Structure 1
Amino acid sequence: MPIFIDRRLNPKDKSLGNRQRFLRRAREELKRTIRDQIRTGKIADVDAEHAVSMPARGTGEPTFNDARNSGSRQHVLPGNKRFTPGDRLPKPGQGGGMGSAPGRTESEDDFRFVLSREEVLDLFFEDLELPDMVKLNLKEILAFKPRRAGFAATGSPTNINVGRTMRNSHGRRIALRRPKQVELDAIAQEIASLEAKPQNAEMRQRIVALQEEFERLEHRRKRIAYVDPVDIRFNRFDAQPVPNANAVMFCLMDVSGSMGEREKDLAKRFFVLLHLFLKRRYDRTEVVFIRHTHEAQEVDEETFFYNTQSGGTVVSTALEEMHRIVEQRYPSREWNIYVAQASDGDNFVTDSERCIALLDEQIMRLCQYFAYVEILDERESHIFGATDNGTSLWRAYSAVKLRWSNFQMSRIATAADIYPVFRQLFARQPGYQKSGERGG
């Protein structure tokens, strides 16, 4: 029976097995703490290590104890003059707790646990997903392509590698000293020449010795095959996963003059969180960045997050640019198409009707999911935050939401609103909808 020994080194001062067991046991507490830290901190801090405080009660190892209400026990406690059976003993610390209450009693501090960047992102995005993924699954369904991966001793006859097989055969024949045909031919020629001459006793002995040597070499040659089954080698092919980017996320952001620095900062924070989420959870998702003022253009990641362009506001240009890119590069029959849009809601007077027409007639039929986030002024959040009233774009999109179940919208007024809204828009759903069940 083989014995396998794992000699991989653990990270310095860490035990991987114990660490993973602790993460599984304290998972809910860690998730709650991470969410609280990120909700009150910076969005950029998501992609970093975090020190998490764990209550002392959550760090104890489970133990076996005697059942107090069963069995028969007799205890002898010498020197006990103070307590009698049934007395209740106070716990250490004031109030019977484990915290650091003021006073002279001893207490126990909370346990601080440092999570790596990978562990933080796993816990942070664990309950999130791209909704309504009905065409292809991003993680489980892969395309594979055969790739040469050396040689194998078994395989299909069509995959025999002749060069490697003959090389093995030649080496084996040299190692076993298989007689060559030239040697046999030389002995046979010498026997024939001796038999053609007048023979005496010495020549007959020489002929007999040569005949025995010929038979020995011939027998050895037959026993050592020219090509043996152990020589045969087959071309080996491994299935290599082929990148199968079957989902695309369109990020549409308003960068017009009506979007102040605060609004742009909140929109960028939302898209940074979305970008981290897509990179962490879906390896094969493409992201298309579109910025718009009165004109829209596809840009790279650096330009999307850091360029300072400004201008007027025509939202429909972003929707038209997105539709053009879908038609050229991402046919809906092969791709899951997602859209996330951020704007302050201001738009050209007659353009909101154009946006409704584009969404109803073209875009929503192609999308798996469309999420719209509107950036509110903090002074208006208490007025519009919980009502359907608002900007012309919000009212237009509200009409679209009534007709399409895969369209969702929400509002953000402060940095603290970003994470709750993000979870609301991308929370894991109990089941996927069918394409034919959508409205419209």
Structure 2
Amino acid sequence: MPILIDRRLNPKDKSLGNRQRFLRRVRTQLKRSIQEQIRAGKIADVDGHHTVSLPAKGTSEPSFRAANDSGRREYVMPGNRSFAPGDRVPKPGQGGGSGSSAGLHASEDDFQFVLSREEVLDLFFEDLELPDLVKLNLKEILASKPRRAGYSVSGSPTNISVARTMRNSHGRRIALRRPKREELEAILRELASLEAGGANPAARQRIASLRAELDRLERRRKVIAFVDPVDIRFNRFDPRPQPNANAVMFCLMDVSGSMGEREKDLAKRFFVLLHLFLKRRYERTELVFIRHTHEAQEVDEDTFFYSTQSGGTVVSTALEEMHRIIKQRYPSQEWNIYAAQASDGDNLPTDSERCLTLMDSEIMRLCQYFAYVEIIDERESEIFGATDNGTSLWRAYRTVKDRWPNLGMSRIARAADIYPVFRQLFTSQPVPQRR
């Protein structure tokens, strides 16, 4: 086993080991604070800037100091008539006669960290052991498409703008008075007519002057190029976000009496990660929250996560409400429809048959992808973790899955199962054939 020795010099008056322990301690506090903010806040606030406050007491590095209440010391104190041993002397500038407690005790402000979106995601995923592949997918930027953004003086030859280049060339030739071909042809015709006539002295003098003018114009045409490098312009393209399509995500959660605080907390964690995934992949993503007991209703985000209402369980009401909302607001030919459902599977057998019929005949025909997560007890994970047996709702969805490949199913027993399940459900799926 190799032995690694760090021989780097410590900073002045600092211990490298203490500094590393301090950084680890602060990082742990940051991750704990981020998790508490995400747990108590809205899922839309996860993908944003966060300000995390840490007590100033925990930000200082450990150091050795002489103990004031032990050891032997000798002091020479100046005499005075105002104070006696044991008196408390206020700090300069704070005063002492106001009678107020303000200023009598030293204090420090909390140390604040302002974290960017990427830093928040890194801290949120790091301690949960999210696989690196899924990290890259979650941080994937929107698809971009090049769009015209004017002209530039450099670029690829394939991007040369012929019209703008010739326009610049024409203006430069006019400004520099480059001789035209018509002027040269006129001189050549006059020379030919003079040479065909008599060879009198006046004609010879005219021919000599015309030849000199012709030579000057030809040299000027060579110096002033028809197209100069300063005339060339290239089409410039800037990448701009290109929305893949409009997307809507339906979040269906069972809040009946069988769903306790543990089950709801696991469901919320799953929906947080799902929201981040869709938000990164689509420019426009709408969220529709549906909660159900023995009846279902569309609610806002706060009610979805924090309402204490409870009751019986009829899962088919949530599917019916989802189908109604799709028909009213999200036509399938214009929207990519996704759905995620979290439940403990506790449902009436007759209603599970109703769910099978709704999923097979209506819901799966409209959805791009449907993910069902069943939250079970940790003791049940050993029994149902690797088998198709389970609740009546699980068996009904298994029947639907055999017919529709765009249905994903998995079970969650603890918080550590959320991310492997998420990766399993949201990897690239084969394109389903519409029926």
- TM-score w.r.t. length of structure 1: 0.51
1:170 offset after TM fit, Å?
1.2
1:386 and 1:247, CA in 2 relative to 1: closer, same or farther beyond 3 A?
farther
Tell whether the 8 Å contact from 1:161 to 1:234 is kept in structure 2 after alignment. Answer: yes
Gaps of at least 5 residues in structure 1 are: 1-21, 63-88, 96-103, 375-383, 389-393, 411-420
Tell whether the 8 Å contact from 1:54 to 1:111 is kept in structure 2 after alignment. Answer: yes
* Mapped pair 1:370 → 2:372: yes
* Mapped pair 1:162 → 2:162: yes
1:36 and 1:43, CA in 2 relative to 1: closer, same or farther beyond 3 A?
closer
Aligned to 2:16: none
Amino acid at match of 1:155: S
Deviations 1:191-240 (A, max 9, x none): 56766887764553343122201121023224433234553434344554
Aligned to 1:171: 171
> Does the residue aligned with 2:55 lie in a helix, a strand or coil?
strand
Distance in 2 of aligned mates of 1:321 and 1:192: 95
1:317 and 1:142, CA in 2 relative to 1: closer, same or farther beyond 3 A?
same
Distance in 1 of aligned mates of 2:370 and 2:133: 7
Distance in 1 of aligned mates of 2:205 and 2:323: 99
Distance in 1 of aligned mates of 2:321 and 2:298: 8
* Mapped pair 1:30 → 2:30: yes
> Does the residue aligned with 1:227 lie in a helix, a strand or coil?
coil
Aligned to 2:114: 116
Distance in 2 of aligned mates of 1:25 and 1:280: 30
Higher RCO structure (Cα 8 Å, ≥6 apart): 1
Tell whether the 8 Å contact from 1:370 to 1:406 is kept in structure 2 after alignment. Answer: yes
Distance in 2 of aligned mates of 1:304 and 1:288: 12
Aligned to 1:183: 183
Distance in 2 of aligned mates of 1:225 and 1:92: 87
> Does the residue aligned with 2:150 lie in a helix, a strand or coil?
strand
Amino acid at match of 1:215: D
Tell whether the 8 Å contact from 1:319 to 1:355 is kept in structure 2 after alignment. Answer: yes
Matches within 5 A, 1:190-339: 191=191, 201=201, 204-228=204-228, 231-244=231-244, 249-253=249-253, 274-275=271-272, 278-279=275-276, 282-284=279-281, 286=285, 288-291=287-290, 314-319=314-319, 329=332, 339=340
Q: Identity over aligned residues, as a percent? A: 45
Aligned to 1:126: 125
Tell whether the 8 Å contact from 1:191 to 1:207 is kept in structure 2 after alignment. Answer: yes
Aligned to 2:41: 43
Amino acid at match of 2:290: R
Distance in 2 of aligned mates of 1:178 and 1:299: 75
> Does the residue aligned with 1:169 lie in a helix, a strand or coil?
helix
Aligned to 1:408: 411
Tell whether the 8 Å contact from 1:29 to 1:54 is kept in structure 2 after alignment. Answer: no
Matches within 5 A, 1:77-96: 91-92=66-67
Distance in 1 of aligned mates of 2:391 and 2:279: 33
Deviations 1:310-329 (A, max 9, x none): 99863123246658969974
Amino acid at match of 1:407: S
> Does the residue aligned with 1:125 lie in a helix, a strand or coil?
helix
Tell whether the 8 Å contact from 2:412 to 2:418 is kept in structure 1 after alignment. Answer: no
> Does the residue aligned with 1:408 lie in a helix, a strand or coil?
strand
Amino acid at match of 1:284: R
* Mapped pair 1:53 → 2:55: yes
1:140 and 1:234, CA in 2 relative to 1: closer, same or farther beyond 3 A?
same
1:123 offset after TM fit, Å?
5.8
Matches within 5 A, 1:321-360: 329=332, 339-341=340-342, 350-352=350-352, 354-355=354-355
Tell whether the 8 Å contact from 2:33 to 2:52 is kept in structure 1 after alignment. Answer: no
Shifted more, 161-170 versus 187-196: the winner is 187-196
Tell whether the 8 Å contact from 1:292 to 1:313 is kept in structure 2 after alignment. Answer: no
Amino acid at match of 1:43: G
The alignment's C-alpha RMSD in Å is: 6.3
> Does the residue aligned with 1:209 lie in a helix, a strand or coil?
helix
Distance in 1 of aligned mates of 2:409 and 2:107: 48
Amino acid at match of 1:289: V
